Structure 1
Amino acid sequence: MTTSYSEVAVAEGAWTQALRLPAAVPVEQVRQALTEAARTNPVAAFLPGEADDPVEEVLLYRDPSRTYGTPDPSACDTAVSELVSVTGWAAVAGPARGGVLVGLGLREGYDAGAAQHSPAEVAAHLRALSATGWRCRTARLVSARLVGRNVRWYAEGGVVVQAEPRLLPAVQAAALGCAQHRYVVTHLAAQRTYALQRSGDGGSSG
């Protein structure tokens, strides 16, 4: 029985950027903007909110991949500048430098018909370890990457967790509880970004 995760991809540095939208924007419009941006730089982001809720914030991060590599922070900064100039979105302060940023899906695996968990379950794992030092928000987990001539888009309902590093065991427990195949930790305190995959799982390792 699977009980843990192991690193499958890593990148030095811990880059994130929060963007504030001047008004609530339809999620499809945000998707179009991020898809266009992905033609020059891969996009990984959290959109706080549920399903088709309008988007007020975009939280960008890097998703390390052994297959495709990982853009360096300077390339990400350039991509953000271009995105801001096109959209009018504003770059604002993001997660605290001493914490970690993690997104977890709520569906078991990648099958659209698989069992679905709730944000409350993730919060319960965090609360079991500590009543403080974390924030858990419902969010859309999205990514866009140019493969060949086309941008491949992926979106899934989940949560975004901002927490103190000491809460990483609770994050892993939540990932196991939600039967997540893979997730990414942006470790701002250690200036390191890494992808974790459930031990014993087959398939792509990122």
Structure 2
Amino acid sequence: MTHYIEVASAEGAWTQTLHLPTALPVQRVRHVLTGLARTWPVAAFLPGTADEPVNEVVLYRDPSRTYGTPDTSACDAAVHRLVATTGWTRGAGRGDDAAIVGLGLREGYDAGAREHSPGEVTGHLLSTSATGWRCRVARLVSARLVDHSVRWYAENGVVVRAESRLLPAVGAAARNCAQHRYVVTNLVEQRTYVFQRSPDGGSPT
């Protein structure tokens, strides 16, 4: 049976929601985030589906064994630069969330692979508990500077905000969607960590 192991982590649980004064096309937001990625590795959720205009960006950290993880002060500095150049505004704090997890809906990274539905994720969560979680459709995106050029990745997915007791159910949803890896921003433990599929998941990044 497929299971996941922790392959990378970082102290702290940093995340920042940014609100756009006017909704922008996805390609315009990609251009902005690609520019930011030249000085800071971008990992973000763009609430909405497909080519729906973007009016909110949720930034977080994605720990990497290969590239490391920026500390929270570097993340705050990156947001300061972004806000200063775009006019985007910072959202409120964490609220009552215990953990934030983004799950892709496509199996693995193959562009032609099967894509699951958001309802499958909510179904797994509902089978465990009717309360203590929220699930929102979003585009999962990342942009990282590699060999002097920015590598961009985007996938349809969902963002789950859940109590700690429901993290095993989130893991079950990840298995159902055949995710290669996923990141948990644990606001209770103040830790961010990556789960990756084992034993056939390949080399951690």
Range of TM-score over shorter length: over 0.9
- State the AA in 2 paired with 1:138: V
Q: Distance in 2 between the 1:98 and 1:159 partners?
A: 16
- State the AA in 2 paired with 1:64: P
* 2:53 counterpart residue number: 54
Off by >6 Å, runs of 4+ in structure 1: none
Gaps of 5+ in 2: none
Residues 180, 201 of structure 2: 8 Å contact kept? no
- State the AA in 1 paired with 2:90: A
Residues 133, 160 of structure 2: 8 Å contact kept? yes
Shift of 1:148: 1.6
* 2:66 counterpart residue number: 67
Count of residues paired in the alignment = 205
Cα root mean square deviation, aligned? 1.0
* 1:92 counterpart residue number: 91
Identity %: 71
Shift of 1:200: 0.8
- State the AA in 2 paired with 1:163: A
User: What SS does the aligned partner of 1:180 have?
Assistant: coil
**What are the within-5 Å matches in structure 2 for residues 38-187 of structure 1?**
38-96=37-95, 98-187=97-186
- State the AA in 1 paired with 2:147: G
Shift of 1:95: 3.5
* Cα deviation digits, residues 75-133 of structure 1 (max 9, x gap): 00000000001110001114336510000000111111111100000001111111111
User: TM-score, length-normalised on structure 1?
Assistant: 0.97
Gaps of 5+ in 1: none
- State the AA in 1 paired with 2:116: H
Q: Distance in 2 between the 1:153 and 1:83 partners?
A: 18
Q: Distance in 2 between the 1:42 and 1:102 partners?
A: 18
Shift of 1:202: 3.6
